[in-house]
A and B are shown apart, each in its own frame.
Chain A
Amino acid sequence: MIDQDVLERVLAGATSTGADFAEVYAEDKRSTSAGLDDGRIEQVTSGRDRGAGVRVISGETTGFAYTSDLTEDGLNVAASAAAAAARQGGGGVKTVGLTRAAAHRPNAIVHQPDAIEKAAKVDLLTRMNEAARSYGPEIVQVSAGYGDSTKRVLVANTDGVLADDEIVRTLLRINAVANGDGGMQTGYQSMGHTVGFEIFDTVDVEEMAREAARQAITKLAARPAPSGEMPVVIKHGTGGVLFHEACGHGLEADHIQKGASVYAGKVGKQVANPMVTLVDDGTMPGEWGTLGIDDEGQRTQRNVLIEDGILTDYMWDFLRSRKDGRPQSGNGRRQSYQHLPMVRMTNTFVMNGPDDADDIVASTPKGVYVAKLGGGSVNTASGDFVFGMTEAYLIEDGKITEPLRDGNLIGNGPKVLQDIDMLADDFAMGSPGTCGKDGQGVPVGDGQPTLRVKALTVGGTAS
């Protein structure tokens, strides 16, 4: 994308007025998306996003500028703007020598999206539309979307880092609407991986569509969710967002350093039930949050955050690890070249526990069984977090019974981690997510075995 000698000169120029660190992050992304709604392929979209962000750090101050001009002149303009913004005093000539790191990909790509006919991509949507609609006469509307992207990134900085990566993503989603006597209900399924079109050799798209249709139709008979505190069982591969919100964000070092997290000062302490081991792992082949390098050029890695209930570490980016004088953990991420990196999760999951999933339901006299979760959000300072349930059932006398209407659940992170009282051995990764923080969205994965929280507040309307 950019020659090494150009990068060396731009970085040297960016620090020539005294800054202590400079970085160039360049990306070139090509994407294709297609949308189906109301029985029609509404449109196919092709996109191209290409540019570089230059970050210059002087002491505690970061200056940042970006440009869509990847020539040496264009990069120098951005570098000067970033250096001026960092407002350092002194001067001096620096030379920058970059060492290119060996490219590293967690998984091979068999079919590059660009090499696949658009007709084959559109065909997936048509097949899903037909499968969902033929599932039952109650299905009155279907929308579906396909998206792929190939993003080449290049990171170079004055510490000598020069690393690149190529990230391929493939995403498919479907939303079905069912209509019945009590109004409309919705069902949703999605899948996303950091692999090429070969994913459709193994993913049954018709089955995905039928699953969305089934959810919507099932909910036509749903009753209002209960209101109040009760045991909640969360099906495997659907509830990773619980940990993402209950503690993931609170373990990001930027929140820790500002004292804006309930987990500050808790390393080495028991923060969860001893069954719980929580990991953030950017290296998992093919997962939605997987990267070869993070967006600061650091190799991603597997980080154990909570081990047997004890908090072992936080997640780190360049700035926060520099401040604490410790290694980075491969968690520096950004939405695009137009954004500053910060501490972010990759694939966050809880490992298997000792219990049997069926026993968990059977040993719950009364509660709620959540078969599919929606999004969530957290206030890291108080630890209060919510997450939505989009497919849920009552548990009565140890059996899953009636379907429930959509609603939110609310809990407090530190308390919920202690309140996980059963954890099964049926681990599964969940659906692709987009994690929002400070206005930036990045792709993340999550996963967990079936588990029970002994008390969560269910936000329904029924007594």
Chain B
Amino acid sequence: MSSNPFESEEEPSTASDEILEGFLCPICRADLKSIDFLTEHFARQHAEEEDALKSVFKDIFTKAKKKILNNFEDDRERAVAGAPAASSNAGAGAAAGSKASNARTRFNVYNFMSRQTVGAERSYLEYFQTVRNPRLERYASETNKLIIRLHRLLKDLPMDAVQRKQHEQQTVPWLDGSSVKLCPNCAKSFHIARRQHHCRLCGGIMCHDCSRFLPLENAMQLASLSAIRSEPLHQLQQHEDRAIRLCQHCLWLLDTRQDMQESRTCRPLLAQVYEQIRQLQQDVTPDLEMYQKIVNSLHEGETIFTLADAGALRGKIGQVAEQIDLRSKRILTIHSEPGSREEALKKAIRLSCVQAIKERMLSLPPLPDEALIRQIQERKRMETEQRILTEQRMAMEAYERAGHTVGPSTIADQSSGSFAQGSDLQSLNNWSAPQAANTKFSVDDPLIEQINIIKGYIKQARQDMNFDVVETLELNLRELQREVYERQRNSQT
């Protein structure tokens, strides 16, 4: 950010020693994070500042804006539009190019998808939360209270009906029902046939029809009590005895809590297997890219990778594909109601797996065969030789023109440089290796030793299918070998 022109806007008189960075407002020195915010902020907050000041800043702003906007906009657009552009350009480019002259037709309009940013949007999440959250917090505290009470209620619940009632009343004070003539819920009057009942958690009054019952097993679970004491519970015969009488509101609060817990922890077999599939798909992506790279490199006639490499990688990808296939089939076998949404979901997952396998893994470009590669390499070698020859010729000519000013010393410089690179690599990869004896007069050339070591590494990396490493190592090896060759030639002359 050192080149950020906005820094210059700090007023020297008010500036403290501390150096601020970012999109600073020149007046209130707040960091506005982006140019858009800053201009907007400035226009809104400081619109009434003195005109003189304004004009000065306006000037700076327009200048700075011009300078920065170009960069920023480009970056942003590239980031957003890069992906769709790449995919659509390749295929249709040919069609567009060949027939562009014909104004009426043949211009694939689907090429122009690049450089478009996602449209305007407006989020209401904040407002939504300000309405929702206080409500939820109230519910949460209410529910917590209920659960604590439930816990106490259940902890030593006596079997005997009378004792039980006493225990319940001790835990939660019941409302005095003497002045309550009507059920608060359904507004029907209480009499001998419609007696008053109390919610065991809030103590509220209701009639029998408005009562709800929470089975004891569920209640234990909610109060996170273990089921050890469940034995005697089975002795309770009547339905009402095996449950806790609650009012609608309390039951609803408890239900909602249970629901939320469930949705947060719900991970059935289907979801687990699905996650495995996604993981596999993610893991195989770099392999697919690598394979593409290897095949390209083989077609280019380079010798960094061998045909065996590509074959091995292809095999590995095939295995992953098989695993994905297997797992998606397993998803299909998970039981679900016929005709249900779950069934449709399973089929859709299977379909997407089959698609992904077909399009990404099975449609890999085929490998060139041995003969073809040799042919390509041969051609490439010839081309290189040709090029080297011409280059040499040109170099000679240049050399003669320059009047023999360039000595052989430059070559020696180069050699030490690339040797350093070799040892860097060693430390970089953190593989333990015997330190090469770095004496000038040693019989074994340290370079050759280095080469051998690297060859070992390459072999190891190949076995691990670590083709990124293979690539870097191979390139380093090339350099070393060339180096040795140069040296030998130098020493001969």
Q: Are A and B associated in one complex?
A: no
Chain A residues at the B interface, C-beta cutoff of 8 Å? none
